[in-house]
Amino acid sequence: MLRRLFQVFAPARDRQPVGIRADRRSADKLIADCRELMSEKGEVSGTRIATRMLSGYQALDLAGRDRFFDLLIRNFSPDPEEVGQAGDAYRKHPSPQTLAKLQRVVEPPRQELFRRLNIAPGGTRVLVEMRADLLREGQSSREPIAADLEHLLTSWFNRGFLVLQRIDWRTPASILEKLIAYEAVHQIHGWNDLRRRLAVDRRCYAFFHPALPDEPIIFVEAALTRGMSDRVQPLLDPEAAVADVNTADCALFYSITNCQKGLRGVPFGSFLIKQVVEDLGRELPGIRRFATLSPIPGFRAWLDQNRSAPDIKGLLEKLDDPEWNRNEQIAAELKPHLLHLCARYLLREKGGKDPLDSVARFHLRNGARLERINWLSDTTSKGLERSAGLTVNYVYRLSDLERNHELYTRESRIPASPEVEGLAAKPPRVADLKLA
């Protein structure tokens, strides 16, 4: 009774809301379970403890999870003293034994903890969700834990474990619903839209993992076309006529979506495109060209960041008009300037050795060539907002993939067509841009 009175009349700064105290206790209990799981006792009853821990983690709210992550950093990081001693020993006597000791003490104990958690039913799924929590904005202090999980997930989700499946209208509805929900490049507007995207002149492929059999890991959508398309809207029209596949000579990838936030940075997108290219080549020998119709997500932001530059300032005054693309005179005036600046952005503007544009980095790393920049190709609000309506065709030629990959990764050279190189090399005169 006296204890309750003291709690009631204690200064506010000494009291914590019941919910916060409960979250702290739950997180502290999870850390105690972590220690038990890592003990000899945990090796015997590991599945039971791991299952209990994963359920406990999922029951935590955001504050509880933040507390749990802080405790993981504090209690399951490498011992600096042990690392220093092992490093000194290896430096003095570099042998397989001293190297093995150094490798053992450098590895964070969290990695072994996550391996043991993964033995529980559904463990992989929860660990992927955990990394998604760690990648939330403002979680930079938890980067070591996110890096530990990325290291493990990269091994667990390597190409040998991934299964490629074609998605069509016969695929279970539960998976089709997830395609609608996950699509990140061009929103799918309901079942009618999805049905058109899965028609006979389209292809959709996804990677699945045995630990997540009902969850697409990443999927790609392609249109089978005659010639390399330069506009997005006809491909996205749910009422568009279905084309004759027998006349198609191009497979055009117009969307690729990573479905699991917790697997960001795990490199399986390149495997997907390359395998789809090989499979389509076997299925449809008439397909001679494999290309993308890709957004340029950082282009408009880059223009805004360089607003004060003489060749950009006047251009942005016109781009700020939300109806600029509907005005034929303004659009014609802007066209040469935007095409030049976009080519310069893709070929010359870099962060370190890599292009600023994330989509460019992805395709160039996979061995594609920057083939063409398309004018007013995506006039949706999203396309205008991020790319000023422009899109890019990257071309995948099987015979050139390895060479292009080497040029990009080893020499930081961007394989590009003469057309794109010419656009970057010849800026239009700023005086030709008439200001209102």
Q: How far is Cα 175 from Cα 131, in angstroms, rounded to an integer?
A: 23
Type of residue found at 214: D
From the CB of residue 264, how many other CB atoms can be counted at a distance below 10 Å?
13
- Which residue of the set 294, 337, 340, 387 is catalytic? 294
Whether 417 is catalytic is no
Give the tokens for residue 159: 């190409």
Give the tokens for residue 388: 């000023």
- Which residue of the set 209, 337, 363, 377 is catalytic? 363
Burial of residue 46 (number of CB atoms within 10 Å: 0-12, 13-18, 19+)? middle
From the CB of residue 176, how many other CB atoms can be counted at a distance below 10 Å?
20
Burial of residue 239 (number of CB atoms within 10 Å: 0-12, 13-18, 19+)? exposed
Q: How far is Cα 395 from Cα 257, in angstroms, rounded to an integer?
A: 19
Q: What is the DSSP string of 38-64?
A: HSHHHHHSHHHHHHHHHHHHHH--HHH
Whether 294 is catalytic is yes
Rg over CA atoms, the chain: 27
DSSP E strand stretches across 179-225: 202-208, 218-225
DSSP E strand stretches across 9-99: none
> By C-alpha distance, which of 170, 176, 203, 205 is closest to 191?
176
DSSP E strand stretches across 259-375: 289-292, 350-351, 354-355, 369-374
From the CB of residue 81, how many other CB atoms can be counted at a distance below 10 Å?
9
Q: How far is Cα 130 from Cα 137, in angstroms, rounded to an integer?
A: 14
The three-class DSSP label of residue 210 is coil
Long-range CB contacts (< 8 A, 24+ apart) of 12-20? Answer: 20/63
Q: Which residues are catalytic?
A: 294, 363
